[in-house]
Structures are given as structure tokens and as C-alpha cells.
Amino acid sequence: MDTKQSITTTAGSIKPQDFKFFALGGANEVGRSCHIIQYKGKTVMLDAGIHPAYQGLASLPFYDDFDLSTIDVLLISHFHLDHAASLPYVMQRTNFRGRVFMTHPTKAIYRWLLRDFVKVTSIGGDAENKDENLYNDEDLVESFDRIETIDYHSTIDVNGIKFTAYHAGHVLGAAMFQIEIAGLRILFTGDYSRELDRHLNSAEIPPLASDILIVESTFGTATHEPRLNREMKLTQLVHSIVSRGGRVLMPVFALGRAQEIMLILDEYWNNHHEELGGGQVPIYYASSLAKKCMSVFQTYVNMMNDDIRKKFRDSQTNPFIFKNISYLRNLDNFEDFGPSVLLASPGMLQSGISRDLLERWCPEDKNMVLITGYSVEGTMAKYLMVEPDTIPSINNPEISIPRRCKIEEISFAAHVDFQENLEFIEKINASNIILVHGESNPMGRLKSAILSNFTSLKGTENEVHVYNPRNGVEVTLEFKGTHIAKAIGSIVDQIKNKEAEIQKIKDEKLKVEQKEVKYENKDEENITQISKIEEEGIVISGLLVSNEKNFNLDLVSLSDLREHHSELSTTIVKERQSVHVDCKKELIYWHLCQMFGDVEVIIDEDNVSGIKQEEPNSEDNGKLVLKLMGDILLTVFENIATLEWTQGLMTDTVADSIIAILMSVDSTPASVKMSSHTCNHGEEHKITEQDKAELLQRDEVWKIKQISELFKEQFGDSFTLLLDKENPSTSGDIKGKISFGKNESTINFSQMKIEECNSNPLKGRIESILNIGANLAASLC
């Protein structure tokens, strides 16, 4: 097998494959995050959330739109319900068979959180919807054991899909994933925050560049107030309400931001002990999960930022054991007599404790609802923003409850604002950006803002493309990618030798430059050689072997293939064909010389070629061995001509034409002439120059017939060779005609050119056949 050919063949099979993205949820919306990415036959799913504004099956991502059995890996960015709550459903109730990964804290919190979710949804949903429970406790337990964990900054490889987890800020355990498939790197931010808060590390910039960035767009082009201002506003608002005897309801998601708010409030209560009546105003954290989740928080202090770890070290007390905050499992033992602050879940007031308190407190104007999280479209928290006069009761939607309490929103949602997002996007420097996790309008505004930020790159190869697809709408990106192959085996020595050679030349060049030795002519050559190498690099030939599993490419020499890739083998196919020949060897030799020009004589016992000086064997039955076109061996001995060659595109064709010549040698006009020539002159064996010229002319028709055979093969009955049988030698050129359908062409064989042709593709085909014919019958034109 020709090595050069093998490289092109292998490289040809590494076709550019499209990267595909599409969202089953979380595109042009906040909620039910679930995205699919596909590249090189690998499929990764990102997140499996629910939509907090809907219930039951309606809250799921559009799982029916995708064959979940094809997913290799599912990565969960963080424990929030809109990112993780449909995971047990995917694992237990669908044909999903892939592996699932999340960070340790996410897994620990997820366990308690989803137990609560199962409970809340089965109580909160109305009676008819009971069957619509997405999963039960058993599903949760069974799926839990199959979830694998990943540490921050560690990389896991699942059948060629490599992924690394980085801090995302946002909530404890939240991760951004950088996924690498066949050299293509995709960064998925999940929900992320770049702000330095009280307990979390802010989102990191991965050290390796990314080709594609899938980024959240929750706040679109909005700008956050500075953190300190927000903290101050929050504590002042709460202080003013409780000092006039009011109650503050802070609906929070049980975990994550709630702990951040508690850190702020606990510190404030410590510092303003006297003003707040010396411990007369209680703060409660009301959630059925409160205690369990706090213990998880206390466990994972080591995964938080330096600030909180230092506090933990210095004081030897856990910063998540709050002096001024008490826990409530439910409202049964809650003594609601005076001013208080209540952090209660769920965060969007859809049901549960926070909803009960809202309905209880909202008619009084001295009370306040303070929303600190992100409110999803369609939820009660979002509805309150318009300050409605009444709200529907959850237990009896016919009843309207008057709303007189204050409604305030101070966001501690831990999502980037526009400026933070843009800075991050610039640092990641990916030329393809896919926006997710945002309502249509803010997302659309963000897209325009990013594009206008990068207008200077428009039309360049670094042009930034921004996509904001809807759910189920595919984004396809073509990546050619650079293929890097690892050289192994003896090819490494080849490279080293070449490098050494180059180094030697470089050293000599240096010596010349430093005038240590005299400038010689050969230095000129060396300098050109070096600049050529610097331009092209070292050129090495070998076989590229691609590993299906990890996309690694190995460059091996053919002889090393068996050692390094035992799964592959090489085969050299040798062909051998024999035909009976009745004519003189001299005739065969002459015809082959006419046809191929370059015929190498290996053995010539009867001196057929006339090369040998000594007298020929009188018996005239010696062996003739010829080598044609480099690789084809023809042996003629005792009326048997045997052809041997290595299978290949070119050699097969040539061998076919040699056999055709051997079979028809007797009947060619030249042979007839030569036979009679030999007959007339008895002992005369050699052909004179004049004879040759005459023979050549007579032989033209025969050769054209040979070439026309190629056309017969290609075009069948559509091809006719037009021979003037009456007077072939004087009646001008010999032509052929091709006609099929509307396509017609006339070929002049004597001049080896196309006379007319009404179709360009046909013309191309004819030209290439004529070329082959011309090569085979080199002496004709």
C-alpha cells in the first residue's frame, strides 16, 4: 500500500462534523433548563430542571422531542429546581441510560431538596393532578445511588467526552462545565455570579479557551446596584418595618441565597442589638428542610470562599450557626404576636409555608413582602411585582384576599448583570455564544448588546456569533478543527533524526553568522533549506490511525502498525494472471514498447530486445522477463505469458491493457506484416527502421481500437467508432461518436481531441478517458 495514499484516505475520513445544540427547555425562558449538545457522535445533556410556574408533566422540559437513550452524559450545574428537579424523572421514568454527574455539595443538597419537592408537589397540587406526580420517594432513592460526583477543577473522561467543573458562584456546589469533545471545547455556565459575596467563590475563568459559550442571560442588559447599597437597603427596610411593629416575609428558596441573606441579617442583628429591642424581634428560617440543609452547609464550609473559611478558622465556630435566627419546621409552633422577620420557602410563593404566611399577612399595610430572589414569569412572586389589589387564595381560588402590605424587591439572586456578563464573555473569547436561561425580551436585548460590543470583529475570522434559539430549535455550527496526531514507533526516530539534521544546519549557520568559519556557497543552500523548513515544518509520512473512543490520532509508520494497533492489519494483494501466447516473444516486446515506452528488461535469454551483445540461444525457447510501469512483471516462457502485479487502481488498469495486448498480438496488422517479413527473409530476425515506421502507420487503427475499448467500457452502446473501412490510411482522421439522450459528442481519435460536445460534464469525462488512453498509448501522439 502506498503510504502517501493511506494518509489522504485516512484524513479524508475525518470529515468536518457539525456541532449541534438544542434546548428541550430553558431557551427563551427561565425554568426547566435542559440542553442537548452533540458533536462527533457524542451526546451530552446539560441540566434537567422543571418549570416552577407549571405543575406535573407540564413542568417538564420537552423530553418527548428527543431520544434520551442516545445521551452519553448528563451534567447537572446546581441543585436549583429549575436545573435539577426532573432528574429522577429522567433516570427512572424514561429510556435514559447515560451517566449523571454533579458536584458533592449539589448531590448532598439535592437529596433533601427533592424529597421536599416530592412532598410539596403531592400536597400542593390539586386532587386531579395527583397522578401527575413526576416521581416518588423510591425513584429518588434509586436514582440517587447512580449519581456520580465530580470535584471542582477535576476532569472526567467518559468515552472521549472530557469535562471539568469550575466554580460558578451562584449557590453552594454550583458548577460551570467545560466540555471537550475531539478538541472542541464548550463552556456551559449554568447560573453564575461574578460578584464576591459573603460565602461563595465567584465564577472562574477556565484556563483553557472555549470555542462555544453557552451562557445564562437572566438579567439581560440590566445593571445591579452595588452590593453594599443593596445590603444597606435591605437591612434598613427590614429595620424600619419591624420598628413600626410590622412583619417581614422574605420568600426564599430553602437553600443557597437564603443562607447569604441570613449571614447579612445575623450580622446586622448583632451590631444593632439595642436598637432592635435587645433581642425582642425574632428572625425565623421556616422550611421543613431548614436543619438538614444547614448541616450540609456547615459540612461544606471548605468549598466556600476564603473569607468565610477564615472566619471559621479564627472563631472556631461555624459561621452557619446563627445567634439571632431560629428554625421552624412548619407554622404549627409559630407564635405570631408581634414584629418578626421570616425567611420562608418556597421562594416564588407558589404553595407551602411562604404562601400561607403571605395570605395571612398581606391584608395589613404595616407588613412587607421582600423578594430577594429571581421571580419566574407566571409565579405568585412575579405577580406581586405589579402590586395587585387582591391575590387569590391557594386553598380556595374563588376567594380573593386584599393586598395592602408593602412589596419590595432587592435582588440577591446571584446571577450576573449585563456588565459582569459582558466582561466574562469577553474573557472567554468564544466566537460562538448561545444564550439560555432568560425571558425572550431581556435575552433579545442582551444579544443585540453583545453583537454591538463586538461589531469591530464583524467580517473577520474572529467574528462573534450570538444565538438565542427557542426550545426545540437547533443551532448547527460547523467546526473543521485541527487534528493533532501523536507520532509513535519508528516514526519518532525519523522526526528526531530530521530535527538533529536541522539543528546541525542551524549550528553551522550560526557559526557563519558569528564569523567563526568562512562563508561558503553551501551556507547559502543551508539558509534556504532552513527557511523552507521554518515555513513548511518537518514533513513526515505515515498512517493516521484514529481511535474511535477518545478521538486521539496516532501517526505510525506502516511497518509499526501491527505493533501499535494490533486491531488493524495490512494486506497486500498480489495478482497473477497467465495467458497462452502463440506469437514470437519479439512481437510481444515490440508491442509493449510501442504501448508503454518504458519497458525494463530483467531476463532476456533469447536477446529479443537486442540489448545483449552475445549470440542468442539458437533454440529460441528462452525466458523473457519484463518490468512495466514500475511494478508489473511479465514473464514469457514456452508460450505462456504470466503477469504479476500488486493490486492498485493504476496497476490493475495497466495489467488489463497488457493482457488485452497479449491476446490480440497475433491479429494486429503490424504482427501480420512482421510475421510475413520474418517469413520472407528466413533467418532475418531484426526489424529495420523503415519497417517500424510503416508498421507504426498501419498500426494506428489497431491502437485507436484499443483506446476505443475504454470508451466502450464507459459508454456501452452509446459509443460508436466510425472507421472508414474502404481506405483507412488515406481518408483522414478516425473519429468516434457518443450519443445518449440529448448529449452528443464527436471525438477525433487520430488527433486525440474532442471535436464537439454539448455537455460540459460529458466533456470532462471524455477528456479524462482520452488522457488515460494517451498514457497507455504514449507513442501514438
DSSP labels, 565-633: -TT------EEEEEEE--S-HHHHHHHHHHHHS-EEEEEETT-SSS---SPPPTT----EEEEETTTEE
Task: Give least dist CB 252 to Zn ion, A.
Answer: 13
Q: Which CB, 78 or 311, lies closer to Zn ion? A: 78
How far is the first Cα of the chain from the last one, in angstroms, to the nearest whole number? 32
Q: Which CB, 246 or 442, lies closer to Zn ion? A: 442
Q: Which CB, 189 or 607, lies closer to Zn ion? A: 189
Q: Which CB, 73 or 172, lies closer to Zn ion? A: 172
Residues 6+ apart with CB under 8 A from 343: 250, 252, 258, 261, 262, 283, 284, 285, 286
Task: Give least dist CB 286 to Zn ion, A.
Answer: 21
Active site residue 415: yes
Give Cα separations from 170 to 77, 216, 286, 412 (angstroms).
10, 12, 22, 10
Asked whether 191 and 219 are in contact (CB, 8 A), the reply is no
- Backbone dihedral region of 346: left (phi > 0), alpha (psi from -120 to 50 degrees) or beta? beta
Task: Give least dist CB 78 to Zn ion, A.
Answer: 6
Q: Show the cell assigned to 341.
A: 422577620
Q: Which CB, 80 or 198, lies closer to Zn ion? A: 80
Task: Give least dist CB 552 to Zn ion, A.
Answer: 36
CA angle 531, 537, 542 (to 5 degrees): 145
Task: Give least dist CB 53 to Zn ion, A.
Answer: 13
Q: Which CB, 113 or 118, lies closer to Zn ion? A: 113
Starting from the edge strand earliest in sequence, which strands make up the sheet with 247-251, in order? 325-328, 283-286, 340-344, 247-251, 368-371, 406-409
Residues 6+ apart with CB under 8 A from 336: 247, 360
Measured distance CA(182)–CA(160) in Å, rounded: 7
Task: Give least dist CB 222 to Zn ion, A.
Answer: 16
Task: Give least dist CB 6 to Zn ion, A.
Answer: 51
User: Which residue type occupies 319?
Assistant: P
Residues 6+ apart with CB under 8 A from 19: 37, 38, 39, 184, 186, 212, 476, 477, 478, 479
Asked whether 673 and 698 are in contact (CB, 8 A), the reply is yes
Task: Give least dist CB 79 to Zn ion, A.
Answer: 8
Q: Which CB, 190 or 246, lies closer to Zn ion? A: 190
Query: Across-strand partners of 642?
Result: 578, 635
Task: Give least dist CB 376 to Zn ion, A.
Answer: 9
Asked whether 135 and 151 are in contact (CB, 8 A), the reply is no
CA dihedral 110, 115, 119, 125 (to 10 degrees): 40
Residues 6+ apart with CB under 8 A from 58: 51
Q: In 3D, which of 654, 659, 652 has the Cα closest to residue 574?
A: 652
Task: Give least dist CB 437 to Zn ion, A.
Answer: 6
Contacts to Zn ion by CB under 5 A:
80, 82, 191
Asked whether 740 and 715 are in contact (CB, 8 A), the reply is yes
Q: Which CB, 191 or 211, lies closer to Zn ion? A: 191
List 51, 83, 224, 415, catalytic entry: 415
Task: Give least dist CB 468 to Zn ion, A.
Answer: 17
Query: Across-strand partners of 543?
Result: 556
Query: Across-strand partners of 756?
Result: 746
Q: Which CB, 26 or 246, lies closer to Zn ion? A: 26
Tell me if the bond preceding 346 is cis, omega within 30° of 0.
Answer: yes
> How crowded is residue 299: how many other Cβ atoms within 10 Å of its Cβ?
14
Q: Show the cell assigned to 329.
A: 419546621
Q: Which CB, 198 or 585, lies closer to Zn ion? A: 198
Q: Which CB, 35 or 80, lies closer to Zn ion? A: 80
Give Cα separations from 426 to 421, 433, 439 (angstroms).
9, 11, 22
Which class for 247: exposed (0-12), middle (13-18), buried (19 or more C-beta within 10 A)?
Answer: buried
DSSP labels, 181-245: ETTEEEEE--S---S--SS-PPPP--SS--SEEEEE-TTTT--PPPHHHHHHHHHHHHHHHHHTT
Measured distance CA(631)–CA(650) in Å, rounded: 10
Q: Catalytic positions, please?
A: 415
